[in-house]
Amino acid sequence: MIFERPDYYNQFSCIAGDCPMTCCAGWEVDVDAASRDFFLELKGPIGDEVRSVMVDSEDGGDYAVFPLTDEGNCPFLASNKLCRLYSALGEEGFCETCSEYPRYFGVTGSHQQIDLTLSCPEVVRIFFATTSPVTFVTTEDIMDGEELSADETLRLSEVYRFRDAVMEDLTNAFSGSEFFPEILLSHSKDLSTFDTATLPDLLASTEVLDERWQEVLDAIQTTGSHQKAFPVNDTDIAPFFLRLAQYFLFRYSIDIFYGSSRDDILLLILRSLTTILWIYESGWCALPSQSCRLTLDEKELSAPLSSKEEKVIRLMDATLIFSRQIEHSLENVEILKKARS
Ligand code: SF4
């Protein structure tokens, strides 16, 4: 198997009770088949409680679901933001979704893509701790993955060729002070320009996963920040747009193998970067109790915050809410990918 991961991957460790958000709210937890079977046999009051909330998946799949409470939380989220299943059962209490988050592992043939999602505030902290372009680490072991047909092997190598060419161009074109999304368009078959006219409607049509989303959309409209276009030429934040472009490119290029077009992926990246820029420009700030600022070491921050620190924290919050709202719904990702402007 060949494994690929970004250079920041190994720095992650969950900050649990110190986290300004939680990963146990906003989205239902899918309970994989092995965990479902474990919970079905589990003795004692905690077993009874799990069985009283767990339901079969609606699509008839081989898994179950923990539906959210009326407050939009996982039913096992305790008031101290810790997991009651973990507290009662340790690692065994975690189903696959909970033990993996915010990591994800995508396997195609003998190739595994390993990454962290920016919907976790601690991942956002790590991601925004440096302005250098992301580098990707490749390792290999002797195990074989699922065998692909000759046609699939060819298609997969074309996907990686495309991804690596765009990645290289992005990093070469970045001036250090400006990020130019045109470099993405230069890899498109049919897109000669990037039109943002329909983007506000697309964003408004997404399934709401984060309760703050309407507030964010209102801020964009009220401040007119959706008039803002690239390039970003503020040296305090421009390098992060390159890193974000690399993140989206690495994460979603593999979708081409599963049916998306190259232009779908380029559009998704352009729309994601633009939305994050709009949220940032709108001045929207997460509540102090939910801000990524809480993940930063107070001792390393100026008091009061410098203008650069304020900008970076605002961009971190914009990125976090974008990822929480869009990236945990296949439907929302498809909305940003598919509809042509
Ligand atoms: S969002 Fe990230 S840091 Fe917060 S509890 Fe979940 S995994 Fe831990």
User: In terms of C-beta density within 10 A (0-12 exposed, 13-18 middle, 19 or more buried), how is residue 315 classed?
Assistant: buried
| 15 CA closest ligand 1 atom index | 3
pLDDT score at 339: 66
Q: Is the sign of the CA dihedral 169, 173, 176, 181 positive or negative? A: negative
Q: Which stretches does DSSP call E strand in the chain? A: 2-6, 29-31, 55-56, 64-66, 103-108, 111-116, 136-140
In whole angstroms, give the CA distance from residue 174 to residue 159: 23
Q: How far is CA 100 from CA 32, 76, 116, 132, in A?
A: 12, 17, 10, 27
Under DSSP, is residue 140 helix (H, G, I), strand (E, B) or coil? strand
| Pairing outcome for strands 2-6 and 111-116 | parallel
What pTM did the predictor assign?
Answer: 0.92
In whole angstroms, give the CA distance from residue 206 to residue 334: 10
Q: Find residue 112's DSSP bridge partners.
A: 3, 107
* Best of 11, 12, 22 for a ligand 1 pocket test (most atoms within 8 Å of beta carbon): 22
Question: Averaged in consecutive runs of 10 residues, what is the pLDDT profile of the chain (341 residues)?
Answer: 96 89 84 93 93 89 89 88 88 88 93 96 97 96 90 97 96 82 90 89 94 96 91 90 97 97 96 97 93 93 94 97 94 88 48
Query: Among residues 202, 187, 190, which one has the least CA distance to residue 333?
Result: 202
Compute, in angstroms, the gap from residue 22 CA to the centroid of ligand 1. Answer: 6
| CA nearest ligand 1 atom 7, residue | 14
Compute, in angstroms, the gap from residue 67 CA to the centroid of ligand 1. Answer: 19
pLDDT score at 224: 93
| 81 CA closest ligand 1 atom index | 5
Q: How far is CA 331 from CA 105, 172, 276, 327, in A?
A: 20, 33, 19, 9
> What residues flank ligand 1, with Cβ below 6 Å?
14-16, 19, 21-23, 101-102, 120-122
Compute, in angstroms, the gap from residue 121 CA to the centroid of ligand 1. Answer: 7
Domain ranges (residues) in the chain: 24-100, 148-338
Compute, in angstroms, the gap from residue 328 CA to the centroid of ligand 1. Answer: 14
* Best of 8, 11, 15, 87 for a ligand 1 pocket test (most atoms within 8 Å of beta carbon): 15
